[in-house]
């Protein structure tokens, strides 16, 4: 019979493998999704789309994600996280070359819908896997996991931009990124969790009340959701519209239009990996205040920049300012006692993720009639609202900072 020391060693090794696989899965989600960003100007030109038509295409990704999220939540209980992550990775691998080469708008809409479904399902699976893996660890890991997602987006955007800048076609560049997604998935998916229920979950279900009255959320919950919505809308604007903005307003070559998102993703990644340090130095209240002002200033620079090089600086400030707002606000939701925590997180998540899923389509609709410059000005003003609302939503331990 194996000794307790041997069992402990095996447990620690297995946990280490699961942590590494989870980090790679987060990285791969960011990598796959950001591969789409540098391709957007090519898709717009190839299909002859205006801003509104492009917004409709981008909306397909959001629709696919929202359809897949509840379905993935139900399937995970039966098949585990590994199966969902594996199937979604296959979809990413097949979809990217189609996005890079399709010439039919209807077919593109169908592919982007499935692409969005893979993104939504992966997001549910890896976040649940992250929670379960974190429970087995001796230190918090969630910020690091989400930082890996940002890092994946950064590496993808820069890789795709580099390939396009050496005059590789959009289709062949998509093939390269697709192959890299496959390689990362082969390194991460096999170690994914096959079972998601554990003793803690069963205990929670046994001790939880059978029914909980669902009421209208407290106003502070709605305000926190609105603040997260603005941040996710800003992130969606950078992912889906920064390249179009450079090519439309500054006539930047399509091959380097992905630089804008690359600068955004670089500072967002650095901000997330240094979030714990900034929290200790500034405190929660000041971190949100300075972050929202930084993001608003960056968006203002994007709007008024006389040359496209300054637009890159603006997006870098937007990424830095946006990096820690949502993690801190979600933590704030978990501390409040106005609304049951599970309900509160559900409300805030629904409001917040609609910003990144449907917000970019809204930008396209409005931008077609008033221009992207006016839309981005509105986003800058909304980012300042986060700073104003910050002091009124301090709850729990953070209120003392």
- Taking each helix axis from N to C end, the angle separating 372-390 and 359-370, rounded to the nearest 10 degrees, works out to 130
Largest CA distance in the chain: 73
pLDDT at 326: 82
Res. 157: pLDDT tops 60: yes
Helices (H), 35-138: 40-47, 51-101, 105-135
Residue 3 placed within a domain? no
Residue 13: both structure tokens together:
């090794």
Interatomic CA distance for residues 160 and 164, integer angstroms: 6
What does pTM read for this prediction?
A: 0.74
Asked if 186 and 242 sit in the same domain, the reply is no
204 pLDDT tier (thresholds 50, 70, 90): very low
Q: CA 154 → CA 82, 92, 160, 360, distances in Å?
A: 25, 17, 10, 19
How many angstroms separate the Cα of 382 from the Cα of each of 200, 356, 375, 376?
A: 41, 15, 11, 10
Assess if residue 201 is contained within a domain: no
The residue segments making up the domain with residue 96 are 14-196
pLDDT at residue 212, as a whole number: 44
The answer on 227 and 147 residing in a single domain is no
**pLDDT for residue 200:** 42
The predicted pLDDT at position 1 comes to: 53
Report the distance separating Cα 92 and Cα 90, nearest Å: 5
Q: Is 194 in a helix, a strand, or coil?
A: coil
Burial of 361-393, coded b for 16+ CB within 10 Å and e otherwise, reads bbbbebbbeeebeebbbbbbebbbebbebbeeb
pLDDT of 87 higher than 70: yes
Domain count, the chain: 2
Question: 289 and 230 in one domain?
Answer: yes
pLDDT value of position 231: 92
Q: Where among 141, 167, 196 does a domain terminate?
A: 196
Residue 227 has a pLDDT of 93
The larger pLDDT score, comparing residue 361 to residue 140, is at 361
Sequence-ordered alpha helix ranges (H) in 305-340: 308-322, 325-335
Per-residue pLDDT averaged across 97-123, rounded? 92
| Statement: residue 347 has pLDDT above 80 | no
What DSSP letter does each residue of 197-214 carry, written as one string? --HHHHHHHHHS-S----
pLDDT at position 177 is 95
Measured CA to CA, the distance from residue 284 to residue 179 in angstroms comes to: 41
For residue 190, name the pLDDT band (cuts at 50, 70, 90).
Answer: confident
Of 30-34, 68-72, 131-135, 266-270, the range with the lowest mean pLDDT is 131-135
- Among 72, 184, 89, smallest CA distance to 128 is for 72
Query: For residues 28 and 192, is the Cβ–Cβ distance under 8 A?
Result: no
Residue 203 lies in a domain: no
Please compute the mean of the pLDDT values over residues 238-242 and round it to a whole number. 86
Residue 73: pLDDT band (50, 70, 90) is confident
**Are 96 and 221 in a shared domain?**
no
The verdict on 329 and 360 lying in the same domain is yes
Residues 168 and 123 in one domain: yes
- Domain identity same for 267 and 190: no
Closest among 214, 188, 231 to 25, alpha carbons compared: 188
Considering the chain, what is the average pLDDT of its residues? Answer: 83
Domain co-membership, 127 together with 249: no
Instruction: Categorize the per-residue pLDDT at 202 as very low, low, confident or very high, splitting at 50, 70 and 90.
Output: very low
pLDDT band at 398 (very low <50, low <70, confident <90, very high): low
Domain identity same for 238 and 269: yes
User: Of 97 and 58, which is predicted with more confidence?
Assistant: 97
pLDDT for 173: 93
Give 40's pLDDT tier (boundaries 50, 70, 90): confident
Mean pLDDT to the nearest integer, 15-36: 89
What pLDDT, on a 0 to 100 scale, did the predictor assign at position 46? 92
CA separation for the pair 359, 335 (Å, rounded): 28
Position 7 in a domain: no
Domain end residue (candidates: 163, 196, 229): 196
pLDDT score of 401: 47
In this structure, are 227 and 83 located in the same domain? no
Residues 382, 245, single domain; the answer is yes
Average pLDDT over residues 40-46: 89
Q: How open is the CA angle 254-255-261, to the nearest 5 degrees?
A: 85
Alpha helix stretches (DSSP H) within 250-283? 259-273, 275-282
| 8 within domain boundaries | no
273 and 399: one domain?
yes
Residue 210 lies in a domain: no
Domain CATH for 85 = 1.20.1250.20
In a domain, 209, yes or no: no
Q: Residue 269: inside a domain, yes or no? A: yes
């Amino acid at each position: 019979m194996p000794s307790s020391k041997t069992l402990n060693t095996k447990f620690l090794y297995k946990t280490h493998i699961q942590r590494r696989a989870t980090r790679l899965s987060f990285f791969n989600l960011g990598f796959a999704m950001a591969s789409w960003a540098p391709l957007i100007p090519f898709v717009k030109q190839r299909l002859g789309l205006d801003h509104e038509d492009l917004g409709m295409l981008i909306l397909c990704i959001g629709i696919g994600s929202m359809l897949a999220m509840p379905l993935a939540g139900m399937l995970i209980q039966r098949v585990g996280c590994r199966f969902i992550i594996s199937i979604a990775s296959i979809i990413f691998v097949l979809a990217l070359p189609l996005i890079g080469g399709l010439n039919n708008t209807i077919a593109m809409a169908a592919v982007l819908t499935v692409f969005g479904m893979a993104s939504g399902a992966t997001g549910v699976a890896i976040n649940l896997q992250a929670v379960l893996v974190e429970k087995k660890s001796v230190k918090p890991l969630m910020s690091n996991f989400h930082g890996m997602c940002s890092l994946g987006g950064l590496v993808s955007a820069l890789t795709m931009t580099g390939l396009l800048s050496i005059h590789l076609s959009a289709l062949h560049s998509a093939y390269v990124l697709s192959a890299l997604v496959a390689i990362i998935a082969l390194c991460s998916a096999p170690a994914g969790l096959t079972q998601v229920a554990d003793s803690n979950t069963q205990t929670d279900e046994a001790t939880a009340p059978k029914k909980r009255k669902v009421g209208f959320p407290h106003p502070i919950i709605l305000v926190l959701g609105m603040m997260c919505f603005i941040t996710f809308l800003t992130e969606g604007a950078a992912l889906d519209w920064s390249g179009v903005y450079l090519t439309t307003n500054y006539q930047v070559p399509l091959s380097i239009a992905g630089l804008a998102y690359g600068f955004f993703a670089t500072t967002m990644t650095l901000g997330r990996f240094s979030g714990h340090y900034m929290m200790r130095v500034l405190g929660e209240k000041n971190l949100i205040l300075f972050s929202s002002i930084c993001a608003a200033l960056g968006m203002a620079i994007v709007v008024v920049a006389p040359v496209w090089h300054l637009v890159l600086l603006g997006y870098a400030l937007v990424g830095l300012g946006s990096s820690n707002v949502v993690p801190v606000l979600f933590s704030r939701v978990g501390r409040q006692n106005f609304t049951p925590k599970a309900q509160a997180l559900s409300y805030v998540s629904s409001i917040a993720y609609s910003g990144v899923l449907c917000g970019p389509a809204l930008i396209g609709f409005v931008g077609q009639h008033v221009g992207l410059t006016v839309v981005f000005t509105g986003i800058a003003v909304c980012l300042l609202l986060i700073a104003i609302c910050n002091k009124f939503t301090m709850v729990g331990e953070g209120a003392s900072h």
